[in-house]
Amino acid sequence: MIRESASRKLFMVCNYIFFSLICLSVLLPFLNAIAISLSSYEGIVRGGIHIWPHGFNFEGYHKLISSTQFLRSFLNTVFLTAVNTFLVIVISLAAGYALANKHMIGKSIVFYYIIIPMYFSGGLIPTYLLVNKLGLDNSYLALILPNIVSMFYMIVFKNTIEQLPRELMESAEIDGASEPGILIRIILPLILPMTMAFVIFSTVAYWNEWFGVLLYITDKTKWTLQYQLRDILVNASLVDADTEAAIIQGSDRVNPENLKMAALMITVLPIIVVYPFVQKYFIHGQLVGAVKG
């Protein structure tokens, strides 16, 4: 049995204390938000809610689920997240494969054409003017087209594919496989963990999208969930006249703080539920990108 030195034991104790404090700093506010979302109107008015609800009830969640506007924003976010994630991964993977392909002419020129905008972008105002000039404002395309090209993903895919054994692709070419067939059947299974890691990154980023809605969208029916959450946090409003009336009157009235925290929980719940099932791909993808050989 190997005995640890006193300095090593002290280091481990400090580590445990430090990371325990970090976990508590994340967990306690989350538990507090859950407690407020489940508390009654009177319980929130009295205050003193910490990690346990006062006057347990689900009225805040019921009002949100009953809101047409909130459900519409939820469906908008699911749609935009799925479409944007699919397009950015497909485009980045295809571009990375093309840049790593030995048959491509002028690869270095195209590579510099891609990498320069990654460091020197046009900026927010030119992008806004371009989207409006193309007539994409107040449409879903304004939230899709500017977000589906990721130079970083392209470069990582390119470098990863270049590190794969060249013999695999050459043997597939000899057998008559097409370029899409080589990409889908040979390369994609080999880099699947990294691809899934990028899928997670993109899904979280697009799920949290709200700034594009602030810039380009004026129609409330096209709001995303995060922008709807922002409106609820700022105004405690669901844009539904009937629901707003129920918030402030009636026997089942809901405190605005209760509504805000319930909206927050519904917004983060899908990511929390999905993440444990894809965590193994995320960790494996990180290791594949960090370890060579």
Q: pLDDT band for position 283 (50/70/90)?
A: low
Per the listing, tokens 């880099």 go with 191
Q: What is the mean pLDDT of residues 155-168?
A: 87
pLDDT in tens, 186-232: 888 888 888 888 998 899 889 998 899 999 998 889 999 999 888 88
Please tell me the predicted confidence (pLDDT) of residue 91.
93
Q: CATH homologous superfamily of domain 58-290?
A: MetI-like (1.10.3720.10)
CA angle 231, 236, 239 (to 5 degrees): 65
CA 252 to chain centre: 34
Lowest mean pLDDT among 1-5, 22-26, 132-136, 150-154: 1-5
Per-residue pLDDT at 10 exceeds 60: yes
Per-residue pLDDT at 289 exceeds 50: no
Per the listing, tokens 């969930």 go with 225
Can you give the pTM of this predicted structure?
Answer: 0.80
Residue-range domain boundaries for the chain: 1-57, 58-290
Q: pLDDT band for position 79 (50/70/90)?
A: very high
Please tell me the predicted confidence (pLDDT) of residue 253.
67
Exposure string (b/e) for 12-42, b if CB count within 10 Å is 16 or more? eeeeeeeeeeeeeeeeeeeeebbbbbbbbbe
What's the DSSP call for residue 114? H
| CA gap 45, 38 in Å, rounded | 13
Q: Are 226 and 210 in contact (CB under 8 A)?
A: yes
Please tell me the predicted confidence (pLDDT) of residue 238.
55
Q: Give the DSSP letter string of 56-87.
A: ---HHHHHHHT-HHHHHHHHHHHHHHHHHHHH
What's the DSSP call for residue 2? P
pLDDT in tens, 227-275: 988 888 777 655 444 444 444 444 456 778 888 888 888 888 888 888 7
Q: pLDDT band for position 282 (50/70/90)?
A: low
Lowest mean pLDDT among 16-25, 114-123, 180-189, 204-213: 114-123
Please tell me the predicted confidence (pLDDT) of residue 54.
82
Q: What type of residue is 234?
A: V
Per-residue pLDDT at 83 exceeds 90: yes
**Nearest partner of 140 among 249, 223, 253, judged by Cα:** 223
Q: What is the mean pLDDT of residues 21-31?
A: 90
Please tell me the predicted confidence (pLDDT) of residue 236.
60
